[in-house]
Chain A
Amino acid sequence: MPSAEDIKQRIEAALPDASAQVEGADGVHFQAVVTSPAFAGKTRVAQHRMVMDVFAGELGGSIHAMALTTKTPS
């Protein structure tokens, strides 16, 4: 089962200049706050999809749920 740290590293490796804060101790439910300049100019839905795509096939399966907040660096 992935740890919050695993999830954080995968998000940061996949998205340009992203920083992620991830919580979730049970290995299947996570909460992530992701900041990346790559989100600029995109709708929230598009931003969320960019993060969800990192875990395509795992969400709803081995990862039950991820509550997501996306931000662009201020």
Chain B
Amino acid sequence: MNEVRFGQAINKALADAMTADPSVIVLGEDVARPGGPFGVTRGLLDRFGPERVRDTPISEAAIVGASVGAAMTGLRPVVEIMFMDFVTLTMDALVNQAAKARFMFGGQLSVPMVVRMPHGGGINAGPQHSQCLEAWLAHVPGLKVVCPATVADAYGLTRAAIADDDPVIVVENKALYAAKGDLPDTAAATPIGRARTARAGRDATIVSYGAMVPVALAAAADLGRDGVDAEVIDLRSLQPWDEPAVLASLARTHRLVIAHEAVEAFGVGAEIAARMSDVGFDELDGPIVRVGAPFMPPPFAKTLEDWFRPDAAKIVAAVKRTMA
């Protein structure tokens, strides 16, 4: 067991995957010689060489499109998109090509590729470097989307994404890169589509993912002081998401709050709320309440961004609302 940072766990996952499988390559802007803008790919060039670890031009559309072609021709590319905001430039390759190739060619092939991208605020990066756009990608049939909250899952979900035969988006919250946690020497892949109970509780369920999981845990601790025993579910995967696990938790607590950093409207929380109001209707003893950012672009100034990002107090208020 080693204490490592979140970003180092992803680095180890990439290195282990490249060691295990020569068809895995890593490419992206500044990922090779500079080691990645957040240092996640540091050292890979030295270990695996310039054929398999490639700095690319600032050509997001072409590098993701090329990854589709490479995946169709026997490689397992892992692309880094420097900020999730830049995924806009890759949408044809992701949505019309990677996601649909298997289906529209009648199941002839798989497209085993991974696109890593950091989302989220907290570093005052402003409207074009802070967005959480995962709901867009989770809405596209053919893509899978994962979002780790812990060091173990940063490793495990990255390994699972690379091993997966379909295109997987790994969303990494940049506020987590420096977070520390334990990574066992024998760390394993985290199965895609399975949630984790981050905190067991009886009175209300808080479903969350990524960097909102520690916020939800802080909210649960606050609620505990008020005598409310909240359960926190870490989704880990957004597409597919673990509906049975959420339903099982709701069946225990009968109250549901969904919290994410992305804007609340039309988000991941909306899908979960819709499903639970259907299949979980009989379990509900209160309204399903969502916590997300207000419907606006992420603002720059510190006071504005602090206000914009959901915090523990907002989750506490939401739990109290559904329990009222």
**Do these two chains really belong together in a complex?**
no
Which chain A residues have a beta carbon within 8 Å of chain B's beta carbons? none
